[in-house]
Amino acid sequence: MSSTSITKSPSALAVSAAATHPSPLGNILTIAKRELAGYFASPVAYVFIVIFLLLAGFFTFMVGGFFERGEASLVSFFVWHPWLYLFLVPAVGMRLWSEERRAGTIELLLTMPVTAWQAIVGKFLASWLFLALALALTFPLVFTVLYLGHPDLGVIFCGYVGSLLMAGAYLAVSCMTSALSRSQVVSFIVSVVVCLFLILAGWPPVTNMLVQWAPPWLVDGVAGFSVMPHFEGFQRGVLDSRDALFFLSVMVFSLFTTGVIIRSHRAG
Amino acid sequence: MIKVENLIKAFGPKLAVNGVSFTVERGEVLGFLGPNGAGKSTTMRMVTGFIPPTSGRVAVGGHDMVEDPLPAKRLIGYLPENAPAYTDMTVAGFLGFAAELRGLRGEAKRQAVNRVVETCFLEGVLYQSVDTLSKGYRHRTCLAQAIIHDPEVLVLDEPTDGLDPNQKHEVRTLIRRMGEHKAILFSTHILEEVDAACTRAIIIDRGQVVANGTPQELRQRSDVAGAVSLRVQGAAGPVVAEKVRQLPTVRKSVVLKEEGATVWARAYPQAQARDGEVEQSLFQLAVRENWKLGELHVEEGRLDEVFRAITMPDTGRAEKEVTRA
């Protein structure tokens, strides 16, 4: 090999001395940066963004009747988001941990001087940021309604905040299911099912089914998991901290469970 | 630097690692030998903190791996089995990522990357994506990641697996050189590597340490260690064997091979035979019998034989009992 010694030469000592212990935030950012770059290194990111924008446009204009409503609002845009995210968010989140486990890089990552939660948060933030970017690219819609009339920008802003929070909640669920399996396909399917439950939990056919035999507290409990009522507030332009808290607690719970799952894999 | 005490790992009812203890000090290269599935990788994963032990203790540089993992992990560079790397990154990007997680930023990071790129011969592929690399390059990329922070402790799981003979030689040389100042634990199932790079070796079998010593010490456990091999012309094989066996210093003799008029035989010395006695008596025998003596040498003992004797349940049970005692 080369004559350059990698043992304790003076320059090597300088390298060791230059190494500072990175803060937890530093580690999270390093991991998030890598993960985000990972999306754009493959066609996945571009395919996702294009499909997201096409579908969002299709539902807004063709299905939602954007023009027929005769009002300058983005209601017909936001109303489809729970359904759009149902398939698209798991597609973004499915690789987070499945891929690490399949490729064995999880062994590299978790033997680095980082904690598991730093890795989990870093990876989650990266994909959330990616979703935020996709969502931000719908900005021409905002300009469209601004051109057409005088929309309530506060309502639109609320819609975006709610949509982003909902995407984060779905994503955290995908992150959790992604830790369950080495297979991205399995993690995608499980994630879609769980997210579908989050959508349908408060839907009358579901609650009616429960009402027959379940005690009222269980019916209310199940219905309480529904994302729909919480997202509706945002769509109407109501920034209710309880709604935000709901989405945030889904995220915290799911990410915490991700950590438990990863720990249990390692414990064997 | 590495201190492992009574390490146990159970996967369900199966004990993958069962009471392994060893230490590796600075300046030592400890070879970790064993058949596939012996528990080498599992032990290394516990040493590096990837999986927690069921019981037992791992300390690196005095830091307990379970209680205080981050300071312990900072000291370690780790090359996992199969050399995993993020396939969607370039080599430069991957090494930069590893450097950042090791706390190297800016100029220090640039220098560290340059240093390992030079050490591991990665200049040619620096901006190539990891998934387009050949196995040898990928392995070296992962090795480069392990040494990027010039760690005091190196844990390498089969570092020469999948490399061509030249690359194997380079990696062994590198390990030996780094071992002068670091504590290195590396696993292999290639026995020549033990001679080439280790100061000490451990043989592990079914989760337990069955031998621990310098390569020289291990070799001496071999049956043939101390036996004298000879090549003569002038008599038939059975005759040679019989005459040799009749020498007072010889316990047992075997004919290894007979080809035309040439006989290869081996004499096993009596336990009380002194150094050089067997060779001398064989030489005198050959002179007396008027054999043409072509070769006469003392066997050093062979690691692969020791390895087989220790790790195969049916052959060499006696050997096993000796080592367990």
User: Two tokens at B181?
Assistant: 């100042």
- Cross-chain Cβ contact A16/B97 below 8 Å: no
Q: Which domains does chain B show, CATH number per domain?
A: 2-213 (3.40.50.300), 228-298 (3.30.70)
What DSSP assignment string belongs to chain A? --S---SS-HHHHHHHHH-----HHHHHHHHHHHHHHHHHHSTHHHHHHHHHHHHHHHIIIIIS-TTTT-SS--HHHHTTHHHHHHHHHHHHHTHHHHHHHHHTHHHHHHHSS--HHHHHHHHHHHHHHHHHHHHHTTHHHHHHHHHHS---HHHHHHHHHHHHHHHHHHHHHHHHHHHH-S-HHHHHHHHHHHHHHHHHTTSHHHHHHHHTTS-HHHHHHHHHT-SHHHHHHHHHT---HHHHHHHHHHHHHHHHHHHHHHHHHHH-
Residue A250 exposed, middle or buried by CB count within 10 Å (0-12, 13-18, 19+): buried
What is the spatial distance between Cα B90 and Cα B129, in angstroms, rounded to a whole number?
4
Distances in whole angstroms, Cα of residue A109 to Cα of each of A120, A203, B97, B100:
11, 41, 10, 12
- Asked if B84 lies within 8 A of A41 by C-beta distance, the reply is no
C-alpha Rg value of chain A to the nearest Å: 22
The predicted pLDDT at position B223 comes to: 72
Q: CB contact, 8 Å: A62 with chain B?
A: no
Contact check, Cβ <8 Å, A267/B182: no
Give the A window 89-128 contacts with B, CB below 8 Å: 103-105, 107-108, 110-115
pLDDT for A180 equals 92
Residue of A nearest to B99 (CA): A19
Do the Cβ atoms of B315 and B308 come closer than 8 Å?
yes
Contacts of A41 in chain B (CB under 8 A): 88-89, 129
* A2 in reach of chain B (CB within 8 A): yes
Please report the pLDDT score of residue B282 as a whole number.
86
A3 lies within 8 A of chain B by CB: no
Q: Are A94 and A189 in contact (CB under 8 A)?
A: no
Closest CA to B305 of B317, B291, B293, B316: B316
Dihedral angle over CA of B43, B49, B50, B56, nearest 10: 50
Residue A163 tokens read as 């949509």
Distance, CA of A173 to CA of A90 (rounded, Å): 8
The predicted structure's pLDDT at residue A179: 94
Under-70 pLDDT residues of chain A: 1-20, 268
- Give the nearest chain B residue to A11 (CA atoms): B111
| pLDDT recorded at residue A17 | 45
Amino acid letter at B118? E
Please list every residue in chain B whose beta carbon sits closer than 8 Å to the beta carbon of residue A113.
70-71, 73-74, 101-103
What is the ipTM metric for this complex?
0.85
Other beta carbons within 10 Å of A104: 15
Find tokens 């390895």 and name the residue: B307
Q: Give the pLDDT score at B313.
A: 61
**pLDDT for res A19:** 60
- Chain B partners of A110 at a C-beta cutoff of 8 Å? 49-50
Contact (CB<8Å) A27/B101: yes
What single letter denotes the amino acid at residue A189? I
- Sequence-distant (6+) residues with CB within 8 A of B83 are B138, B139, B141, B142, B143, B161, B162
The structure tokens 């903190």 sit at B49
Residues in chain B, pLDDT under 50: 315-325
pLDDT in the model for residue A190: 95
* pLDDT value, residue B315: 45
Model pLDDT, residue B110 = 95
**Chain A residues with beta carbon closer than 8 angstroms to that of B107:** 18
Domain boundaries, chain A: 23-267
pLDDT digits 0-9 by tens, A88-116: 999 999 999 999 999 999 999 999 999 99
B226 — alpha (psi -120 to 50), left (phi > 0) or beta?
Answer: left
